[in-house]
A and B are shown apart, each in its own frame.
Chain A
């Protein structure tokens, strides 16, 4: 018993989370969530647009952040001696920047820049860029650790074949990174899907379908942040249910990503 009992603490917390968000009385609302319109006053609780916005923003952020993370992880290893250590510390620090601060930067710097192209600049693209900037450090650190795990024997073999650095990266390093890169991408995706504040601040929040770079979108998390404070009755149940769906989705993606990152 003593061997396993410490597991009760995290398991209990997880259980508390699910119990808090799962209300059996709210289940009859569940089918309504699949609808397209979100008009709580008229008892329409469709979150299809919000879900698609969440996937669009998180997916877009992933597309931007993965190459950035890969480049920065490679730079950490290619920079001779102390440069790499410094870069790694800077990556850690960049990952600690609070999301409201990124949101503020998005409003104060990024949106004005984008609004020259298409005022007011807020929307899908702005949210995607801000999210990418928030998630690349997590992914870079995971890739960095994976680079560290490439066995010396493999590198030595490549060196003794007389490969150039470019060839070694393409033929040895990249193939060894395949699983870790997928895993890092999934970890980044879960973080992007769960992120609230920065997205809320720069995405416009009207709740359009994510059809263009300047669509004023609203993610599932932003919808929670905007409406939960005053929601009552069925409206509240619908919001809690969408929160539960978010936890289940991110947890499943996270487990998949974690398996890929830790099992080599």
Chain B
């Protein structure tokens, strides 16, 4: 390769690293500002003075409950869809399915929040509650989960699928005894990545699970997710920046740990460079 090419290549790589660099700047800033407020009591105490002091324990509990409910809502629907997607031979039906799933994934999250408010908070009479928030979040992550799980099952070798069919197993038995054990690892990673997306969500929760910052006693209580807490501290609480940075650091760490497990879908195997 000529020197001219090396220079071109180097320039593109440098420019291409710039946006990643800004993301790193964000992380360094959060670590710098957030570390001082991190401590065991920050994680285990209730907030004091609208969150300026004290901890984030109720938000951690609410977030966990919301994620659990979202998973309980989305997983039982997503798994059959993903299995169907792997087995269906009708290409048109599959394309139609993909288009619908992608369309759902592109709906702005605040619109999910509005729908959750109309249908669950008011319509079903759940009020501002973890239940309404969890169901809304579950509907929102369903397309992500279906996509990630379909990708996970797509890696399953055709031989395994055919062997199951040749043994005369019913589709349900095939799924239970062959598919799930064989792709358990990638299914788990897909699930965590979908949960990362749910944990990062704020807009869909504003009108469904609400703002209450006390410890929730049941799923019918309103609970403030960690992301909503960060929003409130940064926007509405003067002097809340320190605690906001700490909370943001906790959220970012959790989300990125989950998301980093996901391997990119395609690996470049080509021998000829660009």
Residues of A within 8 A of B (CB): 3-4, 6-7, 9-11, 13-14, 16-17, 20-21, 68-69, 71-79, 83-85, 87-94, 96-105, 107-109, 133, 136-137, 140-141, 144-145, 147-148, 150, 152, 155-156, 159, 164-166, 168-169, 173, 187, 190-191, 193-197, 200-201, 221, 224-225, 228-229, 239-240, 243, 246-247, 250-251, 254-255, 258
Contact = CB atoms under 8 A, between A and B. Distances in A.
Interface in B238-268: 241, 244-245, 248, 251-252, 255-256, 258-260, 262-268
A4 B93 contact: yes
> Dominant SS at the B interface?
helix
A13 B139 contact: yes
Contacts of B272: 152, 155-156, 159
B17 A98 contact: no
Nearest to A88: B264
> Dominant SS at the A interface?
helix
Given A6-B84, A104-B244, A195-B108, A21 B118 contact: yes
Interface in B133-159: 139, 142-143, 146
B244 A75 contact: no
A83 B268 CA distance: 11
Contact of A105 (B30, B110, B143, B203): B30
B255 A103 contact: no
B96 interface: yes
A164 B5 contact: yes
B110 A243 contact: yes
Interface of B: 1-2, 4-5, 8-9, 12-13, 15-20, 22-23, 25-26, 29-30, 33, 77, 80-81, 84-85, 88, 90, 93, 96-97, 99-104, 106-112, 114-115, 117-119, 123, 139, 142-143, 146, 193, 196-197, 199-203, 206-207, 227, 230-231, 234-235, 241, 244-245, 248, 251-252, 255-256, 258-260, 262-268, 270-274
A4 B96 CA distance: 9
B20 A71 contact: no
